[in-house]
Structures are given as C-alpha cells and as structure tokens.
Amino acid sequence: MKSVSASRLYRAKHHGTLVSVFPFFDHFGFVHTNMVIDHEMARVFSMPSESIRVHAFRKRIQFDGELALHQTLTTDDVEVMSELLHFDPWWVLRQPHFSGRQWTDALKTTNIADPLDGQDVVYRRNLSMLTHVIKDGMPVPFDDIVLPQKDVKAPVIQARQGTWTLRPGFFGFTQSFTQN
C-alpha cells in the first residue's frame, strides 16, 4: 500500500490555496477524521478520509467538491477529535489567528508532536491509518511506539445548553457534561 508522510500533508496546494491535513487517529493508528486547515482564510474543517485524495509527490491535495462548500469545524467535530490524537510538529493551532477560538485548547492537547520530537509519521496514502514513525531515519511500526500519558489541564468547551469538560482518559480524553 502506498504511503504519505505528515510533512507532505503540511502546507500542500489545493487549487492554489495552501492547506494542511492533520489526520486524527486512535492509539492503534486508525484514522477517524481529518482536520483540514485553509491557511489563507484561517478556516478549519473536519473531513472523512474518503473525501481527501493526496498526491504526495506533487504535494497536492484534492477534496470532494470545493473546499469552501464544506462545513467548518463544529462542536460535535471537536467532541470526536478531542478523544483522538494528531501529529503536528509545526504547532499550527498555536498561530495567532487560531487563538481565542473555543476549540483550540481542546485540540492542542491531542497533539503528540512533543513525544515524537524530530520525527515524522507516515500514513497510508488513503489516510485510513498511521502505519509507522520515522525515528533516526528508520521506520518504526506505530504499534511499537509508546506514547506517554500526559497530565494536562482539562480544557473546557462552551456549549449552548451547558459545559463540556475534557479529562485525560485511556483513549485520549473523556468528557462530562454539566447542564447550565
């Protein structure tokens, strides 16, 4: 099966627009959704892997339909993504145009770039799975990578009817809902 590295998904082109795709995966490496960032408009989308085609050699990405027609990130998307992990060694969500957005803190805590410092990850070309990590120039199966349990403060996402609180759990984070 063909593969694509995370570095090929960062700042790729989609019809002349700079975009980045960050697959969100579980502790087994299975990708459940993808965060797509339009760098020029500072818009963020959640898309299934089936809607994305990667042309790694040319560093181009295609989406089903126009990117502008896709719905931007919702609270439901953040709820799903906050239970998963992603790899962003560039820390895109720390950029100034993302600060102050409700979901930024919740998604920053899912980034595993620190424990994999200086490494790259490789996904299947269809973005269905993270297959291995490039460590010291050598491929290491993702199953062999031990991710440390992070002790993070629980970010809070405001919902219309109450407050979602995210807490560290076995598969990323668990949530509790408090009615206002």
Compute and round to an integer the Cα radius of gyration of the chain: 16
Mean pLDDT in consecutive groups of 10 residues from the start of the chain, 180 residues: 80 84 93 92 90 81 82 90 93 88 89 86 92 88 73 42 49 49
In-domain check, residue 41: yes
Residue type, 51: S
The DSSP symbol for 73 reads P
Rounded to the nearest 5°, which phi and psi values hold at 178? -115, 125
Q: Quote the pTM value.
A: 0.78
How many domains does the structure of the chain reveal?
Answer: 1
8 Å CB contact between 142 and 131: yes
In-domain check, residue 162: no
In-domain check, residue 93: yes
In-domain check, residue 161: no
In-domain check, residue 126: yes
| pLDDT value for 168 | 52
| pLDDT value for 153 | 40
The domain in which residue 35 lies consists of 3-149
| pLDDT value for 37 | 92
**Cα 30 versus chain centre, distance:** 12
In-domain check, residue 154: no
Report the run of H or E that residue 81 belongs to, with start and end: helix 75-81
| pLDDT value for 86 | 94
In-domain check, residue 168: no
Distance CA 97, CA 75 (A): 19
| pLDDT value for 152 | 40
Lookup result for tokens 């609270």: 75
In-domain check, residue 35: yes
Nearest residue to 90 via CA among 33, 35, 17, 154? 35
Structure token pair of residue 96: 């100034």
| pLDDT value for 144 | 85
| pLDDT value for 115 | 83
